[in-house]
Structure 1
Amino acid sequence: MVMIRQHIKCSVAAFLVLVTYSLPSGVRAQDTEALLQQLREAEPAEAGRLVADISREWSKSGSAAMDLLLKRGRDAMDVGDLAAAAEHFTALVDHAPEFAEGYHMRAMAYYNAGRIGPALGDLEMALRYNPDHFGALRGLAVIFETLGDADRALRGYEMVLALHPNDEEAQNGVERLLITARGRDI
């Protein structure tokens, strides 16, 4: 069983390398700056559509094979198979090392599996390649809050809100942390 699984992994990796190197270099996702600007100014009702559009753009690697790995990883996460998800995302970042969404998604898989250190490392990589990735920033804020680092968590949530003012998780995080910092008025 182990031999078959290892053979399949090697075959998939070889296929992905072949497909990756047969594509023209420099293929990148569409610029999202206009969408991000609209998101900063959006009413709450429109923000959801803009977030979906931005996420769709950030999910385009420029390679059908890499997009398939992203989809398979997400599908594995949807059914709770975090180990398989992490494997798909690892293959993705191995073959597309500048694709921020691969790191972001692997960080989510790691975090959900209780692997905080690797999740932090992948969020750092996601933000290196996409500093506007409000999902990765939110992930950092959640981890810092979980670790009891309220200052960093608050800064993370505030950075999310600078990009996506209607992000309810970030709004709630800021409110929660400010209440904790000040204490409750009676």
Structure 2
Amino acid sequence: MRPVGAAGFSVFDIDDRIQASILACMRFSVFILFVFVSALAAQAQPTPDLGPESELPSVDDLDTLPELEIEEGAGTVADGSRDLEVLDALFEQLAISGDPQTTEAIANEIQKIWLKSGSDTVDVLMQRASKAMQADDHGLALDLLDVIVTLKPDFAEGWNRRATVFYMRQDYGSSLADIERTLALEPRHWGALSGLAIIQRRLGVEDRALDSFRQALKIHPGLENARTAVEELELEEQGEPI
């Protein structure tokens, strides 16, 4: 039986409302940052000095991506509702896992489910897009991913991969837009959250970057790059040299 409060609704409903509010705030923040980046592009301003993050973007920055090579049969969906139940259980385990090897194994299982598109055509296109990304052929990767998100707009990993390619091309406005779509479909996507944080940091919005990195770590405590970034940003916030 679901516990019911005095007003006639359950405490689970309250939790759902809180989660919905958090997601709405997160999406609004992404939207505001997207508008900010778009305004900079429209004014044709020179690229800002990005300080220690000024190296050219690389896919290595986003080590939270699922493996670029999709495993044989990874895209087959036997039961979507079953996958959701399994995901929920895996995320619960991931949040409390203290063993690095166990954490990595749980994260890999989640990523395998994320790669299930439910479409043989999309699976083939994802494989080709992954190879294009590995070869730094961003144009081809974008062409393929454009088709993927058109054919399967509810496939979060398609949006996440395209956001990654836009990031590598330093098209941060487009990357932010695709990150928003990714998080709308899967709010627990730590890779999208990490990408958001990295872009926020590159744009000099350190307070928001710190919040985004912390959210990613809350979901996946084993993200070492995110943990390092949090430590550096916290030192900066305190006015201490890194």
Same fold (TM over 0.5): yes
2:105 to 49, 52, 57: 49
- Residue 123 of structure 2, aligned match among 67, 71, 77: 67
**Which has more helix, going by share of residues?**
1
Stretches of structure 2 that go unaligned for 5 or more consecutive residues are: 1-76
Q: Percent identity?
A: 35
Following superposition of structure 1 onto structure 2, how do residues 23-102 of structure 1 map, counting pairs within 5 Å?
A: 30-31=83-84, 32-42=87-97, 43-102=99-158
Q: Match of 1:62, SS?
A: coil
User: In 2, distance between residues paired with 1:49 and 1:29?
Assistant: 19
> What is the aligned partner in structure 1 of residue 191 from structure 2?
135
CA distance in 2, matches of 1:163, 1:86: 28
Please state how far the C-alpha of 1:185 moved relative to its aligned partner: 6.8
Q: Structure 1 length normalisation: TM-score?
A: 0.82
1-side partners of 2:112 and 2:105: how far apart? 11
CA deviation map 1:54-89 (0-9, x unaligned): 111101011111111112111110111111111111
Residue deviations 1:132-178 (CA, integer Å, cap 9, x gap): 10100000000000000011101100100110111111101111101
RMSD of aligned residue pairs (Cα, Å): 1.9
Structure 1 runs of 4+ aligned residues shifted over 4 Å read: 26-29
Does 2:240 correspond to 1:184?
A: yes
Q: Distance in 1 between matches of 2:81 and 2:171?
A: 30
Q: What displacement does 1:27 show?
A: 5.7
Q: Which 5+ residue runs of structure 1 have no aligned equivalent?
A: 1-23
Instruction: Tell me the distance in 2 between the aligned counterparts of 1:141 and 1:169.
Output: 11
The answer as to whether partners of 2:235 and 2:241 remain within 8 angstroms in 1 is no
Distance (Å, rounded) in 2 between the aligned partners of 1:29 and 1:84: 34
When the two structures are superposed, what TM-score results if normalisation uses the length of structure 2? Answer: 0.64
Q: How far apart, CA to CA, are the structure 1 residues paired with 2:130 and 2:235?
A: 35
Residue 28 of structure 1, CA deviation: 7.2
Q: Higher relative contact order at CA 8 Å, sep ≥6: structure 1 or structure 2?
A: 2
Matched letter for residue 34 of structure 1: A
Between Structure 1 and Structure 2, how many residues are aligned?
162
C-alpha distance in 2, partners of 1:49/1:120?
29
Determine the C-alpha separation between the residues in 2 that align with 1:66 and 1:157: 30
Cα distance in structure 1, aligned partners of 2:191 and 2:125: 19
